[in-house]
Structure 1
Amino acid sequence: MISQLSWKIGGQQGEGVESTDRIFSTALNRLGYYLYGYRHFSSRIKGGHTNNKIRISTNPIRAISDDLDILVAFDQESIDLNSHELRPGGVVVADAKFNPNLPEGVNAKLFAVPITSIAEELGTSLMKNMVASGASWALLGLPIEVFNKAVEEEFGRKGPAIVEKNIEAVKRGSEFVLEQAGGPLDEFKLDPADGKQKLFMIGNEAIALGSIAAGCRLMSAYPITPASEIMEYLIKKLPKFGGTVVQTEDEIAAVTMAIGANYAGVRTMTASAGPGLALMMEAIGLAGMTETPLVIVNTQRGGPSTGLPTKQEQSDLNAMVYGTHGEIPKIVIAPASIEDCFYDTIEAFNLAEEYQVPVIIMTDLQLSLGKQSCNTLDLNEVPIKRGKLVRDLPALEENQYFKRYEFTGDGISPRVLPGDKNGIHHVTGVEHDEVGRPSENAVNRQKMMDKRLNKLNGLTIRDAVRVDAPHKEADLLIIGMGSTGGTIDEARRRLSADDVLTNHITIRQIHPFPTDIVQAELAKAKKVIVLENNATGQLASQVKLYAGGADKIKSVLKYDGNPFLPSEVYKACKELN
């Protein structure tokens, strides 16, 4: 028996690849396995090759596997594009309809199953995904009852007749392949899972759930890949908590609506990707100037312009840190796991109100859309901090205004809700005095700039840098951000077998940069590798700028639209060591 296995299904977009993966992985999750998924899909609704890959393990995993054990193919293109990943002795379950064949040099078993024919016999070719699922599930020798339960949950709302037909499709696919194979394949039998309950979700869902827990009651957004799932989740869930989602006409309207709602005291967020973030830049400056809390999620994808809307990249870092005209205080944080997506979203809302600044949650496509197992989330770890939001204000003297932008020792001024008695003040995007009245006075201007920019001095969020540094003097320090952490750790295990001593840090507070923590780790390494999915080494530039070490820092970059594989990280580290 084996402790882990990799399974992939491929076909044309719109022919059931996503639903097949969903049911297959849901059933595995019910059994208690750890899962890590990756979606390769086209930026169109129908047509174009798509595939979903699931890594299944009895132990926690946070990376895509280098190889592949089982490939389910709905067309020859899926075999041609993905069979190179198959390990020797791997399996291809393919639809007999297209007369499948393996490319030369591929050492794998091919099972041609009449997937479409069986589905059509049962009434519709749409059920071919269930035939294919049943065939591959059967080869693993896993209990069919668990799979059938997942089918019931998927199709239950369509009535018992549809459920029965889909279960029959699973049975037919299972029986056919088992007859061909002579029973389940011993080399693919998984060790029993621990049976413990685990959540199984994408990062976008965790962000949406975190926003609800944080008290968000309005989301204003415009749909865009790969951020749309945040909006879609909240459309279903937020009304149950007295909230609502507004789909605006564009990203400019989305961010300005969020600023207005936050000013009124409602915790509000918006979410987008690189092109949408670009449209929000002027408004982000407005939030900085008016010191209005604002939470933005930026799910990075391939750029520039429309770029690669459905592919992995981490190239918006500079835009998030430097994107506004002029100079404002802002916080940029980067979750590195599904759990981080939940807890960091809560922290983002707290930080936005405590410091009265825009907070950008920086994710990437793999973290946003890759479905993963995660631990049960602890709702006791959800503090709500509203900062200097004051109520029951003392009376003002005649013709006086509330000092909304009062000069204070920490640079953070008292904040009131509009309509509160004795809280009247001006709000404007031009430079202003303590009550918000427009002012071009040179002394006031400098004091206001200093007040705004200095209020983030010393800010360090929870786990600003996640450190795994067992060696006082390491051959290599590997630095990453976002979804790269699990891949780095897997590569490190291979490097350790080669007697290469490695430390690893994941930088989660991108701005303001956690200089002291990073400097301390740089000092313990002979060489430093910064791993990131962009072409210009944006994270490496931040490290060099704020923490130094330029003489020993090397960049490992990947910007072809795909996430790093553990083997790629291992090879790059060996070459640079």
Structure 2
Amino acid sequence: MTKQLSWKVGGQQGEGIESTGEIFATALNRLGYYLYGYRHFSSRIKGGHTNNKIRVSTTEVRAVSDDLDILVAFDQETIDVNVSELHDQGIVIADAKFKPTMPEGSVAKMYAVPFTEIATELGTSLMKNMVAVGASSAIINVSLDAFQSVVQEIFGRKGQQVVDKNMEAMKRGFDYMQEQLGGTIESMSLEKADGKKRMFMIGNDAIALGALAGGARFMPAYPITPASEIMEYLIKKLPDFGGTVIQTEDEIAACTMAIGANYAGVRSLTASAGPGLSLMMESIGLAGITETPVVIVDTQRGGPSTGLPTKQEQSDLMAMIYGTHGEIPKIVMAPSTVEEAFHDTVEAFNLAEEYQCPVILLTDLQLSLGKQTVDPLDYQKVEIRRGKLALGQELPELDSKAYFKRYEATEDGVSPRVVPGMANGIHHVTGVEHDETGKPSEVASNRKIQMDKRMRKLNKINFQNPIHTNAPHEESDVLFVGFNSTRGVIEEAMERFEKEGVKANHAHIRLLHPFPADELLPLVENAKKVVVVEHNATGQLANILKMNVGHAKKVKNLLKYDGNPFLPHEVHSKSKELL
């Protein structure tokens, strides 16, 4: 038996590939297995090759697997594109309808299974994916009982007959595969899971849930891959809590509407990807100079321009820190797990209001759309902090010529904040430089006072654990540094180095700006080499590290920017070349 295996289903976009993976993974999640899924898909609605690779384990996993145990193919292209991932004992189960063939030299075993024929016999060829799931279950020796509740939930609204037909399709696939195998394959049989209940979700769902828990009640947004699921989740849920989502005409409108809502005292966010963030930059500057809190999610994808809309990349980092013209205080956060995506979203709203500035929550496609097992979220950790917002307070009376000092030059740089309509809270709001009451001012001394005031906010950001650290060695041969979804592959590479006697530490950056130089410096100083793992062509995180921490001669780049996520063996083998 095995503690872990990887399974992939592939075919043409629009023929049920995603639902096949969803049904297979959901059932295994409910049995208590840990899962990590990554979906490869084309930037079109229908057609083009797509696949869904799912890693199943009895212990926690946070990365795509190096190789592949089982490939489910609905067309020949799936075999041709993915067969190289199969190890020597790997298995291909392919729809007999397209007369599948294995490429020359492949040693993996192929079974032609009549997915379409069996499904058609039962009434519709659409059930071929259920036949495939049944056949897969036979290989890994998992009872079909595990799928009953999943099928009931998905098809129950269509009537019990439809549920029964789908279960029968799975049973036919299971029985056919068992007959072909002549029993069970010991090396493919999964060990029993612990049976604990865990969630199975993508990072975008966690962000949306975090926004809801964090008190957000308004989201203006424009759909874009890979951010749209945040909007789609909140469209369903926000109305239940008195909130709403508006689909705007573009990202400029989305950002300015979010700023307006926050100015009025309503926690609001917007979410987009690189192209959308480019359009928002002027608005982000407006939030900075008017000191209006706003939370913006950037789900990074392949660029530039339209680039690779459905592929992995981490190339927005510099733009998120330095993209606006002029200088404003800004906070850039980078969760690395689904759990962090939830809690960091809550914290983003707190920080935005405490420091009255834009907060960018930076993710990447792999984290935003990769589906993984998540332990139950701890809602006891959720707290709402609104900073110097004077809601419910009586403000001092002003004489007829006075205005409220909305932009008062305070020691910590954060001024008292009011919302429109509060008695004695009248002030100007403008995107030009202004004095303490908001009135436009070009006086040199005032400009310096206001600039210094705004920038003081960044002197000490109260952010817990700005670096996720796994540093078992006081002095290391190598320090790995990364952000967002590379955490899992780095951890697996570290395990391999440890077995080889190489002392490896790991620092994963969760607060990208202001950069946690003081926390990172001791780890860098005590490492012989620093390997920065990131998905871009210019080593953006490495350059930021050099700017803030120094030790440039130690720092080595490990880059990947072909649209695919790092695999553990790539980080391990390519790091060896750099040491």
TM-score band (shorter)?
Answer: over 0.9
**Other-structure match for 1:46:** 46
CA distance in 2, matches of 1:567, 1:439: 58
1:453 equivalent in alignment to 2:458: no
**Contact 1:139–1:183 (8 Å) recurs in 2:** no
For structure 1, which segment, 108-117 or 25-34, has the greater mean C-alpha deviation from structure 2 after superposition? Answer: 108-117
Distance in 1 of aligned mates of 2:164 and 2:192: 28
Contact 1:469/1:502 (<8 A) preserved: yes
Residue 533 of structure 2 is aligned with which of 528, 531, 534?
A: 531
SS of structure 2 residue aligned to 1:534: coil
What's 2:238 paired with? 238
Paired with 2:119 and 2:91, the residues of 1 have a C-alpha distance of: 22
Name the CA distance, whole Å, in 2 between partners of 1:40 and 1:279: 27
Distance in 2, Cα, partners of 1:88 & 1:114: 24
Structure 1 residue 154 and structure 2 residue 142: aligned?
no
After superposition, where does 1:408-423 map in structure 2 within 5 Å? 408-423=410-425
Matched, 1:487 2:489: yes
What is the deviation of 1:243? Answer: 0.8
1:492-543 Cα distance to aligned partner (Å, 9 max, x none): 1111111111000001110001111111110110011001000000000000
Q: State the AA in 1 paired with 2:3.
A: S
Q: How does 1:185-196 map to 2 (within 5 A)?
A: 185-196=185-196
C-alpha distance in structure 2 between counterparts of 1:570 and 1:73, whole Å: 30
- CA root-mean-square deviation: 0.8
Which stretch has the larger CA shift, 233-242 or 287-296? Answer: 233-242
Indicate the residue corresponding to 1:279 in structure 2. 279
CA offset at residue 183 of structure 1?
A: 2.1
In structure 2, the partner of 1:463 is 465
Q: How many angstroms apart in 2 are the aligned matches of 1:191 and 1:167?
A: 24
> Are 1:171 and 2:171 matched, yes or no?
yes
Q: Distance in 2 between matches of 1:24 and 1:314?
A: 30
In the alignment, structure 1 segments of 5+ residues that lack a partner are: none
The aligned counterpart of 1:518 is 520
Rounded Cα–Cα distance in structure 1 between residues aligned with 2:233 and 2:172: 35
Q: Deviations over 1:308-367 (max 9, x none)?
A: 000000000011000001100000000000000000000000000000000000000000
Matched, 1:296 2:296: yes
The Cα shift of 1:148 comes to 2.2
User: 2:200 is paired with a residue of what secondary structure?
Assistant: strand
* Structure 2 residue aligned with 1:332: 332
Task: State the partner residue of 1:425.
Answer: 427
Structure 1 position 460, deviation (Å):
4.5
Paired amino acid for 1:566:
P
Secondary structure at the counterpart of residue 470 of structure 1? coil
Q: Deviations over 1:265-294 (max 9, x none)?
A: 000000000000000000000000000000
The DSSP-based 3-state class of the residue aligned with 1:359 is strand
Where does residue 132 of structure 1 map in the other structure?
A: 132
Q: Which residue of 392, 406, 409 corresponds with 2:408?
A: 406
Aligned to 2:2: 2
Distance 2:360 2:157 in 1: 38
Asked whether the equivalents of residues 528 and 553 of structure 1 are also in contact (C-alpha less than 8 Å), the reply is: yes
Amino acid at match of 2:363: T
- Give the structure 2 partner of residue 180 of structure 1: 180
Cα distance in 2 for partners of 1:241, 1:458 equals 34
Contact 1:272 1:298 in 2 (8 A): yes
Aligned to 1:315: 315
Tell me the secondary structure at the aligned position of residue 380 of structure 1. Answer: helix
Distance 1:466 1:146 in 2: 36
C-alpha separation in 2, matches of 1:36 and 1:571:
22
CA drift of 1:398 comes to: 2.0
- Counterpart residue number, 1:575: 577
Q: Does 2:535 match 1:566?
A: no
- Please state whether the residue corresponding to 2:148 is helix, strand or coil: helix
Structure 1 consecutive aligned stretches of length 4 or more whose deviation exceeds 6 Å: none
CA distance in 1, matches of 2:264, 2:184: 61
Structure 2 segments unaligned to the other structure (5+ residues): none
- Partner-residue secondary structure (3-state), 1:93: strand
Q: Which position in structure 1 is the counterpart of 2:260?
A: 260
Number of the residue aligned with 2:444 = 442
Q: 2:99 aligned with 1:99, yes or no? A: yes
- Tell me the distance in 1 between the aligned counterparts of 2:229 and 2:185: 37
1:475 alignment partner in structure 2 = 477
Select which of 385, 392, 395 maps to 1:393: 395
Contact 1:2 1:191 in 2 (8 A): yes
Residue identity in the other structure for 2:476: A
Query: What is residue 500 of structure 1 aligned with on the other side?
Result: 502
Offset of residue 574 of structure 1: 1.1
Residue 173 of structure 1, CA deviation: 1.0
Match of 2:214 in 1: 214
* Aligned residues of 1:480 and 1:505 also touching (Cα < 8 A): yes
Q: What is the percent sequence identity of the aligned residues?
A: 66
Q: Distance in 2 between matches of 1:289 and 1:543?
A: 27
Match of 2:20, SS state, is helix
Aligned-partner Cα distance in 1 for 2:141–2:559: 40
Aligned residues: 577
The one-letter code matched in structure 2 to 1:79 is I
1:509 counterpart = 2:511: yes
SS in 2 for 1:361: strand
**Inter-partner Cα distance in structure 1 for 2:448 and 2:178:** 77
Shift of 1:23: 0.5
Q: How far did residue 467 of structure 1 move?
A: 1.0
SS at the partner of 2:100?
Answer: coil
Please say if residues 227 and 271 of structure 1, whose CA atoms lie closer than 8 Å, have aligned partners that are also in contact. Answer: yes
Q: Which AA in structure 2 matches 1:518?
A: L
Amino acid at match of 2:474: K
1:189 maps to a residue whose letter is S
Greater displacement, 313-322 / 156-165: 156-165
The letter for the 2-side match of 1:554 is K
Please state how far the C-alpha of 1:394 moved relative to its aligned partner.
1.6
Counterparts of 1:515 and 1:416, CA distance in 2: 34
Deviation for aligned residue 1:374: 1.2
Letter in 2 for 1:397: D
What SS does the aligned partner of 2:379 have? coil
Structure 2 CA distance for aligned equivalents of residues 198 and 107 of structure 1: 37
Alpha-carbon offset, residue 146 of structure 1: 1.1
Instruction: State the SS of the aligned residue for 2:65.
Output: coil
**In the alignment, which residue of structure 1 is the partner of 2:117?**
117
1:6 and 1:68 in contact (8 A); partners too: yes
Q: What one-letter code is carried by the residue in structure 1 that aligns with 2:361?
A: I
Shift of 1:486: 0.8
Contact 1:206 1:341 in 2 (8 A): yes
Separation (CA, whole Å) in 2 of partners of 1:240 and 1:53: 34
What SS is found at the alignment partner of 1:223? Answer: coil
What is the DSSP-based 3-state SS (H/G/I as helix, E as strand, rest coil) of the residue aligned with 1:110? strand
Rounded to whole Å, the distance in 1 between the matches of 2:164 and 2:249 is 43
| Corresponding residue SS for 2:262 | helix
Local SS of the residue matching 1:278: helix
CA distance in 1, matches of 2:255, 2:158: 38
Worse-matched range after superposition: 141-150 or 552-561: 141-150
Partners of 1:35 and 1:372 within 8 A in 2 = yes
Whole-angstrom distance in 2 between the partners of 1:500 and 1:36: 27
**Separation in 2, partners of 1:421, 1:173:** 71
- 1:373 is matched with 373
Residue number among 552, 555, 564 corresponding to 1:553 in the alignment:
555
| Greater mean alpha carbon deviation, residues 199-208 or residues 490-499 | 490-499
8 Å contact 1:460–1:509 — kept in the other structure? no
In 1: Cα distance, 2:68 partner to 2:458 partner: 47
Give 1:234's aligned amino acid: L
- Find the residue that maps to 2:459 and give its secondary structure: coil
Whole-angstrom distance in 1 between the partners of 2:139 and 2:239: 43
The separation in 1 between residues aligned to 2:83 and 2:35, in whole angstroms, is: 21
Question: Once the 2 structures are TM-superposed, how far is the Cα of residue 184 of structure 1 from its aligned partner?
Answer: 2.6
Distance 2:193 2:27 in 1: 12
